Amino acid sequence: MGLLDGKKIVITGVLTDASLAFGVAQLALDQGAEIVLTGAGRALRLTERTARKLNVPGDGAVDVFELDVTMPEHGDAVRAAVDAKWGRVDGVLHAIGFAPEACLGDDFMAAQWDDVAIAMHISTYSLKMLADTFVPLMENGGAFVGLDFDNQQAWPAYNWMGVAKSALQSVNRYLAKELGPKGIRSNLVAAGPIKTMAAKSIPGFALFEDTWDDRAPLGWDVQDSEPVARAVIALLSDWFPATTGEIVHVDGGYHAIGA
């Protein structure tokens, strides 16, 4: 018996089989869920190809729907498609983030508002957009879980993406307040650094890799996304019925150590 037996789960952010979201998708299937994936723009075909790498029980296939979080009409179309397929949604993984090149790197002051606005729209407001899309299909309650990188402090090179993640944490709290009366939870998983396509786009990512394993009390493997996926699956399951607005750290304990 799996933790997600009978659950209908929407998973965003699968680009390659190294994506954190791919690990979540595979573990969700292993734990008894039915899933669909979403992709956007030029990356949609990449998501479709990667979906075929999932080990689906019974040799089935996973549907992939187009969802650009900057286009409300995409949300309407995906909601209709998922409603026709399942009639409900039990959980959604938010694994969406993007910042223009000017928002990352050595110069925090270089980014202009037009760049920052893109980062905030795609990386932060998108969680609210997913709620707009799927809450109408959660009449019996459900769960949103977002992938996060904790920003209680400033990080080298992360810059405006760090600001966007801090704002995401605030959106998570307000969604928890707003959706709780409907029986819908909203939580984040603050993951340690994992070698993904998204990580490769961050200048100076090696600075995180080089120090994390030494400082994390439990150690940390930048190649192993399974601990993150397990936390997400637990939060999507019924095992955390009274937990919402939370940030669960899956980082080997790094966040708790001062020096």
Predicted model pTM: 0.95
- Is the CATH code 3.40.50.720 the one for domain 8-250? yes
Residues near 257 by Cβ (< 8 Å), separated by ≥ 6?
Answer: 215, 216, 217
Annotated catalytic residue within 85, 158, 195, 200: 158
- Token pair recorded at residue 183: 């029986």
Please identify which of the residues 165, 174, 182, 254 carries the catalytic annotation: 165
* Contact yes or no for 173/159 (Cβ under 8 A): no
Q: Over the Cα atoms of the chain, what is R_g? A: 17
Token look-up 């192993």 returns 224
Model pLDDT for residues 88-98, shown as the tens digit of each residue: 999 999 999 99
Dump pLDDT digits (tens) for 5-16.
999 999 999 999
- Domain borders along the chain are 8-250
> pLDDT digits over 147-205, tens only?
999 888 898 889 999 999 999 999 999 999 999 999 999 999 999 988 765 656 666 66
165 is catalytic: yes
Amino acid at 146: G
How many CA atoms are closer than 13 Å to the CA of 157, on its beta-carbon side? Answer: 12
